[in-house]
Structure 1
């Protein structure tokens, strides 16, 4: 029930969410072609939405799904137990990649993916995270990130945001009766079976560090190049909802 409700309320915040998932899977499948058992890393996995879709598309892949939210991790382990190995870690903190328990002599990440998650990281933390990912990825591997990336310049940013809103209106993604982020969490907090996990979430959730929601594609590209990615390009966009791919040489 909770994961189904999560999926519905998330439609409010990601324009053409299912198509964005499909594009991320398309890119991942292409990059992993010919590899017997690719290793994928899902960053900010939530309740396993992207991991579950990737597991269906690439059934031979090993997926490590990372998040810091105990409620969402438990929902992922419960509802998508075979999709991934779920790891509790705070992405961007010093040593966070150690929690992945990868054997660096054997385990080389083919593709790191993320969707609507890395925008919570302040720019300096985002750069550290990009560097850590570049160190984990094999040559030719990639980071595939689906999120909202405004273009450079406020007039263009206003245009892409407007196009995204109109697209959502046409597809009915922002229905007035739909549950939103706040009401979903309020309902979770009232569920006796999730009370302990919700209280743990409230104790451990870091205060907002500002995030990077206003970083443009150009700024992300600059940070990714600085972190060691040789090639960066958007491969899909509707409004300011975009899939950005960064390839490691």
Structure 2
């Protein structure tokens, strides 16, 4: 039996709840999105039909902000989870191209059907799931697809190099979240509640228990990321924003 199209009302409700609970995992998430979008806007200024990838996009909150700021751009929201992508398609509509792919898996970039060099790759709170060897591979693959002068912009949990400074930065971020967090929902409770929704439950059942890729994780500090990026072929790298242990790192091809 063919599954019915998701209603816009359902998509809007669950996307809103997704974005709300994600505030738990990204200090000043909206400010981070703004900084990332500012960088991409500057790098793509004057270019016709820039191509932008958002890796680990979820439904596509950051991708939608990029599309809103850059109306001439083609913005791809790339994620491994089919439910989150369907929610994004239903909620954000044709402003984005949603693509299912597991970052770092064999041939994952082929699924994106890229027809020209990429102007910018962005990611927010996603690449820390990759192990160091996978991240090295992904940085190299992205460098090959970016045009000269193109950028990789990664907003993620990245520890400062000095251990005591890293501890203090983590504390600052946690205290900030405690003061400003306005939701009691977290990642696990979102999925539990989604599985109880009559419209979402069949979609989750069809995906099976292995819907989320294995989290390898890495313990790279800021200098570790910079070293991998330079090894991959990015000739300039650095932080353009930081709050606590959250960084926005820019690497120029």
Please tell me the TM-score bracket, short chain as reference.
over 0.9
User: Does residue 1:190 correspond to 2:196, yes or no?
Assistant: yes
Q: Is the 1:63–1:85 Cα contact (8 Å) retained in structure 2?
A: yes
Note closer, same or farther for the CA distance 1:36–1:44 as it changes in structure 2 (3 Å cut): same
Pairing 1:106-125 to 2, within 5 Å after superposition? 107-125=116-134
The structural deviation recorded for 1:207 is 5.8
Q: Is the 2:80–2:213 Cα contact (8 Å) retained in structure 1?
A: no
CA distance in 1 between counterparts of 2:206 and 2:171 reads 38
CA distance in 2 between counterparts of 1:196 and 1:91 reads 25
The structural deviation recorded for 1:35 is 0.5
Pairing 1:34-45 to 2, within 5 Å after superposition? 34-45=46-57
Aligned residue in 2 for 1:30 = 42
User: Does residue 1:216 correspond to 2:221, yes or no?
Assistant: yes
CA distance in 1 between counterparts of 2:178 and 2:192 reads 26
User: Does residue 1:165 correspond to 2:174, yes or no?
Assistant: yes
Note closer, same or farther for the CA distance 1:102–1:208 as it changes in structure 2 (3 Å cut): closer
User: SS at the partner of 1:81?
Assistant: helix
TM-score between both structures, scaled by the size of structure 1: 0.93
TM-score between both structures, scaled by the size of structure 2: 0.91
Gapped regions of structure 2 (runs ≥ 5): 1-12
The structural deviation recorded for 1:210 is 2.8
The structural deviation recorded for 1:201 is 3.8
Aligned residue in 2 for 1:235 = 240
The structural deviation recorded for 1:209 is 4.3
TM-superposition CA deviations, 1:211-245 (whole Å, max 9, x none): 12x31111011111111111110000000111000
Note closer, same or farther for the CA distance 1:207–1:89 as it changes in structure 2 (3 Å cut): closer
Q: How many matched pairs?
A: 241
CA distance in 1 between counterparts of 2:137 and 2:52 reads 20
The structural deviation recorded for 1:206 is 5.3
User: Does residue 1:246 correspond to 2:251, yes or no?
Assistant: yes
Q: Is the 2:81–2:212 Cα contact (8 Å) retained in structure 1?
A: no
Note closer, same or farther for the CA distance 1:206–1:75 as it changes in structure 2 (3 Å cut): closer
User: SS at the partner of 2:47?
Assistant: coil
User: SS at the partner of 1:205?
Assistant: coil
TM-superposition CA deviations, 1:103-146 (whole Å, max 9, x none): 2xxx1100000101111111111111111100110000010011
Gapped regions of structure 1 (runs ≥ 5): none
Aligned residue in 2 for 1:52 = 64
Q: Is the 2:55–2:79 Cα contact (8 Å) retained in structure 1?
A: yes
Note closer, same or farther for the CA distance 1:184–1:209 as it changes in structure 2 (3 Å cut): closer
